Amino acid sequence: MEFIVTEEKLQDIEADCEFILVVEGNLKHKWIKDLEVLETLSFEGKSEEVAYLPHLHRVYIGVSSFDRDEIRLALAVGYRAITKSKYKSIKIGSYLHNKLPTNIKAIVEGIKLQSYTFDRYKSEKIDKTIKTITISLEDYNEKQITLESAQKSIKEAIIICDATNEAKEVVNTVPDDMTPKILAKRAQDIANKLDDVECFIGDEEFLKDQKMGAFLAVSRASIHKPRFIHLTYKPKDAKAKFVFVGKGLTYDSGGLSLKPSEHMVSMKADKGGGAAVLSILKGAAELKVPFEIHAIIGACENMIGGDAFKPDDVLVAKNGKTIEVRNTDAEGRLVLADCLCYAGELEPDYLIDIATLTGACVVAVGEYTTGVMGHSSDLKHQIIKAASKSGELAGSLPFNRYLRKTIKSEVADMSNISSTRYGGAITAAMFLDNFVDEKLKDKWLHLDIAGPAYVSKNWGYNQVGASGAGVRMCLYWLKMCEHKLLISKKAS
Ligand code: BES
Ligand code: ZN
Ligand code: ZN
């Protein structure tokens, strides 16, 4: 799929089909050529409303405003309306007034994210006919936007969406086709294609050398051996170091604290955090952000068997802290504990872990939203702002001293579950806090993506299954950090 931006007038562009956005109640815009038909259809231009006029090859789509997520949604709705058509090309004007570059991005993102399909296991592959989307810059002068800056926006949006769709592919792929070993190979292949990126893969022996007793315990019962995956993107003259850590449970059966069958379905998505950090690194390297980026994935399966770790075990993590296992289904925090210790040794400026960690987070904020936790209000605010720009939903969940006491253990330094059934997303994050180095407390963020990583219905421009949660918000955040850097450079 190719996106073209041109200064040509919309009417002079040749395309099989035209998309026209209509702001609610404003049907008098010069691009609206079929007012009568629209009135007959009672089309009002409400958000997500669509009027497809096949005989005229025009699709009218309502938007409540020209905010970016409205545009993304509109493009997705329009694309859905014509998915069964034989059209090969679409043209669209760039309405978008003072927010032109961001909104050009939104046009690309709406289509790119909507057009992803997961058909790996379908005998009949879905045929995507749309090949070209042309955006007209008619009406804008060089002061508002140049062709080059519009092209740059398109390029960035494509990178971000490709990274998101790559994460979806990893998460949607079934456990036997995405074992820790296969995931590691995929990471290596991605690294090989990128400039300034290196990939290290550690096996069980490496975990032993590193004294990662918690990670090892979770991995033990599976025939698929664990992998510690560490990718590094190191551009010349990097301005800061970001370390992303992802939970990469290629399957979570719950272990001996076995999940009930209905909760086990979709646990292939428990590698969502790992998939996200891999895609963030890929996107960041392609965007050539001026930061050193690390992606660390703890990849393993949580299974049952004679060798399985058990409730009552006491594990010793990499930093020497002991953990009483009271529930083997709270395994993600055990894998992350060791990975966070390793990540801390890299002395990052920012440490972000991403994980499908708790069902409690889904209960707390709903299935579409990422729970954001950490000590620094500023950092939480930054990521939530980035999420909002990117179109992802994120909300902060607060720590408190009373919940912290609930993960105490009688026999070890801490228990892997809380003694209260309330606030499970927060107590899981507080457990992780024990493995974040003292110096890094205010640099650490925990993103619980248990809800949005995998949703069993279509929502907005996301399809059934994986959504690539975490990828867009973190890439937007990195771009925001880069922007801040540029501004401070200019000021000095
Ligand atoms: N992978 C799950 C969390 C999860 C739940 C992700 C639903 C996506 C959707 C995690 O390993 C888990 O099982 N957590 C337990 C923790 C409990 C035993 C304290 C949970 O949330 O029930
Ligand atoms: Zn679990
Ligand atoms: Zn899990």
In the sheet where 17-23 sits, what is the strand order?
Answer: 2-6, 132-136, 89-93, 17-23, 58-63, 50-53
Q: Confirm or reject: Cβ of 344 under 6 Å from ligand 1.
A: no
CA pair distance 168, 372, nearest whole angstrom = 21
pLDDT tens, residue by residue, 390-422: 999 999 999 999 999 999 999 999 999 999 999
The two beta strands, 58-63 and 50-53, are antiparallel
Please tell me the residue having the least CA distance from ligand 1 atom 5. 359
DSSP-assigned letters across all residues of 372-417: EEES-HHHHHHHHHHHHHHT-EEEE----HHHHHTT--SSSSEESS
Is the alpha carbon torsion for 23, 27, 28, 29 positive or negative? positive
Confidence (pLDDT) at 97 = 55
Q: How far apart are CA 58 and CA 140, in angstroms?
A: 23
- What is the spatial distance between Cα 298 and Cα 352, in angstroms, rounded to a whole number? 14
Q: Which of 303, 357, 427 is the best mutation target for the ligand 1 pocket, counting ligand atoms within 8 Å of the beta carbon and taking the most?
A: 357
Q: Which atom of ligand 1 is nearest to the CA of 428?
A: 19
Q: What is the pLDDT of residues 461-478, one digit of tens each?
A: 999 999 999 999 999 999
Residue 146's pLDDT is 85
Environment class of 136 (CB within 10 Å of its CB; exposed 0-12, middle 13-18, buried 19+): buried
Task: State if residue 90 touches ligand 1 by the CB under 6 angstroms criterion.
Answer: no
Q: Which of 259, 321, 385, 404 is catalytic?
A: 259
pLDDT at 99: 56
Using the atom order of ligand 1, give the atom closest to the CA of residue 327. Answer: 18
Strand partners, 294: 232, 243
Pocket test for ligand 1, best of 329, 336, 363, 420 (most atoms within 8 A of CB): 329
* Burial degree of 238 (CB within 10 A; 0-12, 13-18, 19+): middle
Nearest CA to ligand 1 atom 3: 358
Atom of ligand 1 nearest to the CA of 417: 19
Q: Can you tell me which atom of ligand 1 is nearest the CA of 356?
A: 6
Q: Decide whether any atom of ligand 1 lies within 6 Å of the 270 Cβ.
A: yes
Residue 79: DSSP 8-state: H
Choosing from 333, 443, 472, 479, the catalytic residue is 333
Would the CB of 449 count as within 6 Å of ligand 1? no
Ligand 1 atom with minimal separation from the 249 CA: 1
Residue 332: CB within 6 Å of ligand 1?
Answer: yes
- What residues contact residue 233 under an 8 Å CB cut-off, 6+ apart? 194, 196, 197, 281, 284, 285, 292, 293, 294
Per-residue pLDDT reduced to its tens digit, 64-117: 988 999 999 999 999 999 999 999 999 998 765 555 667 899 999 999 999 999
Cα 48 to ligand 3 centroid, rounded to whole Å: 35
Helix (H) or strand (E) holding 351: strand 350-355
3-state helix, strand, coil in the chain (%, to 5): 40, 20, 40
DSSP 459: B
Residue pointed to by tokens 């702002």: 385
Q: Is the CB of 466 under 6 A from ligand 1?
A: no
pTM: 0.97
Contact 416 CB / ligand 1 (< 6 Å): no
Residue 167: phi and psi, rounded to 5, are -65, -40
CA-closest residue to ligand 1 atom 8: 450
CA of 357 to the centre of ligand 1 (A): 6
Average pLDDT, the chain: 96
Q: How confident is the model at residue 178, as a pLDDT?
A: 99
Ligand 1 centroid–CA 430 distance in Å is: 15
CA–CA dist 52, 50 (Å, integer): 6
In the residue annotation, 259 being an active-site residue is answered as: yes
Neighbours of ion ligand 2 (CB under 5 A): 252, 329, 331
Q: Are 308 and 328 in contact (CB under 8 A)?
A: yes
Domains of the chain: 2-139 (3.40.220.10), 162-491 (3.40.630.10)
Report the alpha-carbon distance of residue 108 to residue 71 in Å, rounded.
Answer: 10
Task: Give the contacts of 192 (CB within 8 A, at least 6 positions apart).
Answer: 199
Q: Which residues of the chain have pLDDT under 50?
A: none
Is there an atom of ligand 1 within 6 Å of 252 CB? Answer: yes
- Predicted local confidence at residue 96, as pLDDT: 59
